[in-house]
Amino acid sequence: MKSITGINITKSYGKDELVTEVLRGINIEVHDGEFLAIMGKSGAGKSTLLYQLSALDKPTSGEIYIEGKNIADFSETELVNFRLFTLGYIFQDYALIPDLSAEENVLLPLLMRGLDWQTAKTKAQTALTSVGLINRDTNLPSQLSGGEQQRVAIARAVAGKPKIIFADEPTANLDSISGHDIIELLHDLHNKGQTIVMVTHESEYVEYCNRIIYLEDGLIVPEKCRLINPLPNYANTYLTTGSTL
């Protein structure tokens, strides 16, 4: 079952002669329960691809289906609701709301989903417990370390049990110990069946993934793509389909 299907995705910026093509025809599939790493050098288009796949941006051309729905068909309001109920995000610099405590950061999207305060609070506490931060729930982000903030961000992303979590270089701002902790957390989530798409440039963390796709100049480089821990039933598909992995 496919979580995400991207067909011939292109993304370019600028106008006329100053157009920069960042993605040049990406075909990609992400399957349910898969932990996919997107790798590549700086400027290869990794984050841009993640933004397209995660419905934070719209491609210049091509189609993207998430959970079978073409995101181009969504109005802005529908897109916001879709992101709220279906997707979770982890950003490189944590992206917590500085005015809210750790617990409030986690429960905010839950309240938005229509949960009452008490239920949202309980779920937020559960999520914070799962990332080992239950005793820091009243702290503001500024009172937490980088690793702790990223764990709050993970708790926020997972609290609503989204179908897919997108992580944009979640360990880039962390020391190696904290980085490992974060990857372990993502790995645990994946082991519980969570679909995760992660951009990273740190090769030591990819061993936890099912698959790596490698980008160069806006294109997938098949030779550098790897299956690390193939998902059952998909083992033969990836490497035989070129850029349509």
Query: Total residues contacting other proteins (rule CB under 8 A)?
Result: 26
Site for other proteins in 191-220 (CB under 8 A): none
Q: 22 vs 42, 198, 199, 215, 217, CA distance in Å?
A: 12, 18, 16, 11, 7
Rounded CA-CA distance 130/124 in Å is: 10
Q: Between residues 100 and 172, which has the closer beta carbon with respect to other proteins? A: 100
Residues across the chain: 245
Q: Does 19 bind other proteins (CB under 8 A)?
A: no
Secondary structure of 6-42 in the HEC alphabet? EEEEEEEECCHHHCEEEEEEEEEEEECCCEEEEEECC
Q: Does 111 bind other proteins (CB under 8 A)?
A: yes
Strand 219-220 and strand 211-216: pairing? antiparallel
Least distance between other proteins and beta carbon 191 (Å): 24
Q: Name which position in 91, 134, 172, 180 contacts other proteins (CB under 8 A).
A: 91
Rounded CA-CA distance 174/149 in Å is: 10
Residue with tokens 């039933």: 233
Q: Name which position in 29, 34, 103, 104 contacts other proteins (CB under 8 A).
A: 104
* Other CB atoms within 10 Å distance of the CB of residue 121: 18
Q: Does 100 bind other proteins (CB under 8 A)?
A: yes
- Candidates 31-39, 49-57, 178-186, 213-221: pick the segment binding other proteins (CB under 8 A): 49-57
Q: Does 103 bind other proteins (CB under 8 A)?
A: no
Rounded CA-CA distance 161/63 in Å is: 25
Q: Does 190 bind other proteins (CB under 8 A)?
A: no
Q: Does 81 bind other proteins (CB under 8 A)?
A: yes
Q: Name which position in 108, 221, 227, 239 contacts other proteins (CB under 8 A).
A: 108
Following DSSP, what letter does each residue of 102-140 receive, concatenated? HHHHHHHHHHHTT--HHHHHHHHHHHHHHTT-GGGTT--
DSSP reduced 3-state for 172: coil
Q: Name which position in 14, 99, 135, 193 contacts other proteins (CB under 8 A).
A: 99
Q: Does 57 bind other proteins (CB under 8 A)?
A: yes
Site for other proteins in 165-184 (CB under 8 A): none
Least distance between other proteins and beta carbon 95 (Å): 4
- In the complex, the residues that contact other proteins under the rule CB under 8 A are 51, 56-57, 76-77, 80-81, 83-85, 89, 91, 95, 97-100, 104, 108-109, 111-114, 140, 156
